[in-house]
């Protein structure tokens, strides 16, 4: 028990020293929750996280998804996450940076996932969002589209849809009226 008091005393002393030197930045509840979420991540091996602004800026990060199976196998898709200060009461803002031919992702990178809208609850976390995005690549959904043309093609002609996806991943081609760079 005495050791516990010594540890707490040492932590308090360290915090006071940092405060005196102007080094303490108070974290918001959203930052604290996000820190916990990131430390507990259990992503599929096809997903990787990176922090373009450095590890000190947890509120903005990227997830890269490289599916090993399905229509999108072999592609690499980067999503930016901007986490609001009121997280987890509001979901993160997620955009796909990679131009993609997908029924649930439009050409501007907006992503249609129910947990970004009406189904968001504070008990959900970053891991849930990543698995939701990953699921869009393993099971694209033509019933709730952002790209109606891709959704119609997936529903009516899955073989041609798959061909269009391959072409868009390979790049330097026009698919469905949009140019996909290499």
**Host H or E run for residue 175:** strand 173-175
> Rg (Cα) of the chain, in Å, rounded?
21
The candidate with the shortest Cα–Cα distance to 62, out of 129, 148, 159, is 129
Tokens of 41: 């991540």
| Rounded CA separation 95/60 (Å) | 12
47 is catalytic: no
Catalytic residue among 112, 129, 133, 153: 112
Cα–Cα distance list, 92 to 3, 5, 156 (Å): 40, 39, 33
The candidate with the shortest Cα–Cα distance to 75, out of 161, 6, 160, 168, is 168
Catalytic amino acids?
112
């Amino acid at each position: 028990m005495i050791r516990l008091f010594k540890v707490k005393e040492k932590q308090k002393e360290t915090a006071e020293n940092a405060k005196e030197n102007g080094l303490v930045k108070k974290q918001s509840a959203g930052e604290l929750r996000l820190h916990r979420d990131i430390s507990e991540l259990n992503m599929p091996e096809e997903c990787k996280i990176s922090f373009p602004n450095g590890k000190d800026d947890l509120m903005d990060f990227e997830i890269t998804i490289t599916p090993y199976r399905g229509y999108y196998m072999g592609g690499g898709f980067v999503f930016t996450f901007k986490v609001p200060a009121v997280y987890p009461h509001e979901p993160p803002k997620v955009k796909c940076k990679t131009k993609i031919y997908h029924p649930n992702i439009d050409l501007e990178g907006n992503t249609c996932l129910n947990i970004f809208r009406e189904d968001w609850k504070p008990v959900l976390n970053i891991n849930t969002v990543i698995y939701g995005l990953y699921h869009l690549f393993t099971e694209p959904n033509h019933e709730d589209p952002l790209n109606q043309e891709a959704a119609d093609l997936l529903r009516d002609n899955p073989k041609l849809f798959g061909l269009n996806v391959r072409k868009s991943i390979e790049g330097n081609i026009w698919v469905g009226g949009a140019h996909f760079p290499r």
